[in-house]
C-alpha cells in the first residue's frame, strides 16, 4: 500500500528525516566485518579491480550522485572516469567499449534517457552496473549487476533520500575499488569505514537544527536569484543543493565553483544578492574564503556552511550553518541535508506545493 505522510505536512519533509535510517540500513547490509561486500560471488569486486575506465550516466539528482562518484573513484583509485548526462550520451560519439565499467544511476529505474544510454553502452560491450532504488524496474533488466539503495518509496518529486543513498553506494564502490586495487591501504580503508558509520548521526544532528535553518530560509523567500559557491566536493554537493532549491521554490539558483566566479558569474552579484558558500574542505578553505570575501565586498548576503569547529570563527561576520565535524570527504552527507531542509522551507513558506512542483514529473519516460 502507498505510504502515508505520517503526520508530516509533505512527503519531502518525511523523506528528509528518513535519511539517517536509510543510510544505516545500507551500512548494515554491506559493511560486513569491516569489509564492504556487494555479493555477486565477488565477481563485481573483480570488475572493480580490473577496469581502468568508468563511465557514469544519469539524469537530474542521480547525475549529481554520479558526479560525486566520479570524484571518489578518482580520489581513491586514480581510475579515469567520465560522467555524462544520459540525454547527451545517447546521441553523442562515445568511446565506451569492452574496457569500460558503465554505471547507470536512477531512483526509479525507468528514466527513458538513462535506460537508452544503458542500452547503448551494453551494445558497445561495456560491463553494466546499475544503482537503483525501485526493484524490478526496466533498467535492472538490462544491467549486468544492480545495487539497490532500498530507501523505500520516494514520493516527493524533489529527490532526497534517493540521492544520499546513491551517494553512499558510490562511497562504498570507490573505497572497495581502492582496497582491491591497492591504491588505498587497509588502515585507510578501516578509517574510512569508521567514518561511514558516523554519517547517520551526523545527518540526524543537522535534522535537529531544522529551526535554525528555517530562520535563514525565511530571508530569501522573495529573492529572484541565489548562488551557491564552493570548491572541490563542496561544489559537487552544491550542484544538488541548487537543483533542490530551484525545482521546489522557483528561485533561480545556480552552483558555481568558487574559483570560476571571477571568470563570469561575479558579474551577477550585487547589493543584497543571496549566496550560500560552503567551506567544509580543509585544504581548500583559505582559497574558498578569499572568494567569499570578494563577493561580500560586492554586497552579497552570505550564509556560510562550515564545520562546527570553525563556526565560532565566522559567526561575527556571517550567518553560519554549522555541520558536525566528520573527515572532509564525508561532509557531503550533512551538507546536503542542510540544503534540502533550507530548500524545503523556502518552498513551504512561499506556500508552494512542495511535493509536486510545477512542470516536473517524478519519473520521466519521454525523451
Tell me which residues touch ligand G6P (CB under 6 A).
Answer: 59-62, 106-108, 111, 114, 157, 159, 360, 362-364
Q: Which CB contacts under 8 angstroms, 24+ apart, belong to 32-36?
A: 34/190, 34/193, 36/172, 36/175, 36/176, 36/179, 36/193
Cβ distance to ligand G6P smaller for residue 157 or 258: 157
Report phi then psi at 75, rounded to 5: -60, -45
Cβ distance to ligand G6P smaller for residue 149 or 301: 149
Determine which helix (DSSP H) or strand (DSSP E) holds 72, and give its type and residue range. helix 60-77
CA dist 187 → 30, 42, 113, 198, 229 (Å): 19, 22, 40, 17, 33
Least distance in Å: CB of 148 to ligand G6P? 13
Q: What dihedral do alpha carbons 341, 345, 346, 352 form, nearest 10°? A: 120
Determine which helix (DSSP H) or strand (DSSP E) holds 105, and give its type and residue range. strand 101-106
Least distance in Å: CB of 85 to ligand G6P? 11
DSSP β-bridge partners for residue 334: none
Contact 364, 108 (CB under 8 A): no
Least distance in Å: CB of 264 to ligand G6P? 27
Least distance in Å: CB of 304 to ligand G6P? 27
Cβ distance to ligand G6P smaller for residue 80 or 140: 140
Cβ distance to ligand G6P smaller for residue 100 or 138: 138
Cβ distance to ligand G6P smaller for residue 113 or 234: 113
Least distance in Å: CB of 106 to ligand G6P? 3
Least distance in Å: CB of 254 to ligand G6P? 17
Q: Residue 286 class from Cβ within 10 Å (0-12 exposed, 13-18 middle, 19+ buried)?
A: exposed
Least distance in Å: CB of 114 to ligand G6P? 5
Least distance in Å: CB of 10 to ligand G6P? 15
Cβ distance to ligand G6P smaller for residue 157 or 245: 157
Q: What dihedral do alpha carbons 180, 56, 64, 327 form, nearest 10°? A: 10
Determine which helix (DSSP H) or strand (DSSP E) holds 340, and give its type and residue range. helix 332-349
Cβ distance to ligand G6P smaller for residue 107 or 343: 107
Task: Return d(Cα 126, Cα 148) in angstroms, integer.
Answer: 20
Cβ distance to ligand G6P smaller for residue 268 or 352: 352
CA atoms within 13 A on the CB side of 181: 22
Hey, how many other C-beta atoms are within 10 angstroms of the C-beta on 282?
Answer: 13
Largest CA distance in the chain: 59
- Closest residue to ligand G6P: CB criterion: 60
Task: Return d(Cα 76, Cα 176) in angstroms, integer.
Answer: 9
Least distance in Å: CB of 87 to ligand G6P? 11
Handedness of CA 363, 348, 165, 302 (dihedral sign): positive
Cβ distance to ligand G6P smaller for residue 60 or 232: 60
Least distance in Å: CB of 26 to ligand G6P? 17
Residues in the chain: 367
Cβ distance to ligand G6P smaller for residue 58 or 72: 58
Amino acid at each position: 500500500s502507498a505510504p502515508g505522510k505520517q503526520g508530516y505536512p509533505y512527503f519531502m519533509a518525511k523523506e528528509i528525516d528518513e535519511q539517517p535510517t536509510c543510510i544505516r540500513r545500507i551500512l548494515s547490509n554491506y559493511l560486513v566485518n569491516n569489509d564492504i561486500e556487494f555479493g555477486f560471488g565477488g565477481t563485481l569486486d573483480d570488475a572493480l579491480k580490473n577496469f581502468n575506465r568508468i563511465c557514469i550516466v544519469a539524469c537530474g539528482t542521480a547525475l549529481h550522485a554520479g558526479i560525486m562518484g566520479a570524484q571518489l573513484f578518482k580520489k581513491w583509485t586514480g581510475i579515469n572516469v567520465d560522467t555524462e548526462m544520459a540525454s547527451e550520451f545517447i546521441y553523442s560519439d562515445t568511446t565506451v567499449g569492452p574496457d569500460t565499467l558503465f554505471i547507470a544511476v536512477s531512483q526509479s529505474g525507468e528514466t527513458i534517457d538513462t535506460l537508452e544510454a544503458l542500452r547503448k553502452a551494453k551494445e558497445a560491450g561495456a560491463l553494466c552496473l546499475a544503482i537503483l532504488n525501485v526493484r524490478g524496474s526496466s533498467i535492472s533488466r538490462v544491467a549486468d549487476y544492480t545495487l539497490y539503495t532500498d530507501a523505500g518509496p520516494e514520493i516527493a518529486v524533489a529527490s532526497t533520500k534517493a540521492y544520499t543513498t546513491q551517494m553512499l553506494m558510490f562511497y562504498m564502490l570507490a573505497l572497495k575499488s581502492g582496497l582491491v586495487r591497492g591504491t588505498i591501504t587497509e588502515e585507510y580503508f578501516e578509517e574510512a569505514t569508521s567514518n561511514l558509520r558516523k554519517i547517520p548521526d551526523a545527518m540526524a544532528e543537522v535534522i535537529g537544527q531544522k529551526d535554525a535553518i528555517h530562520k535563514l530560509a525565511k530571508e530569501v523567500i522573495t529573492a529572484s536569484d541565489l548562488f551557491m559557491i564552493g570548491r572541490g566536493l563542496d561544489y559537487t554537493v552544491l550542484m544538488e543543493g541548487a537543483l533542490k532549491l530551484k525545482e521546489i521554490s522557483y528561485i533561480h539558483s545556480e552552483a558555481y565553483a568558487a574559483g570560476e566566479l571571477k571568470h563570469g558569474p561575479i558579474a551577477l552579484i550585487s547589493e543584497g544578492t543571496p549566496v550560500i558558500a560552503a567551506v567544509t574542505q580543509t585544504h581548500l578553505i583559505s582559497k574558498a574564503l578569499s572568494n567569499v570575501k570578494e563577493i561580500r565586498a560586492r554586497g552579497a548576503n552570505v550564509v556560510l556552511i562550515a564545520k562546527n569547529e570553525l563556526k565560532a570563527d565566522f559567526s561575527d561576520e556571517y550567518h553560519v550553518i554549522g555541520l558536525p565535524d566528520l573527515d572532509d570527504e564525508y561532509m557531503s552527507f550533512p551538507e546536503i541535508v542542510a540544503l534540502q531542509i533550507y530548500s524545503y522551507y523556502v518552498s513551504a513558506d512561499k506556500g508552494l506545493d512542495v511535493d509536486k512542483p510545477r512542470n516536473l514529473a517524478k519519473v520521466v519516460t519521454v525523451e
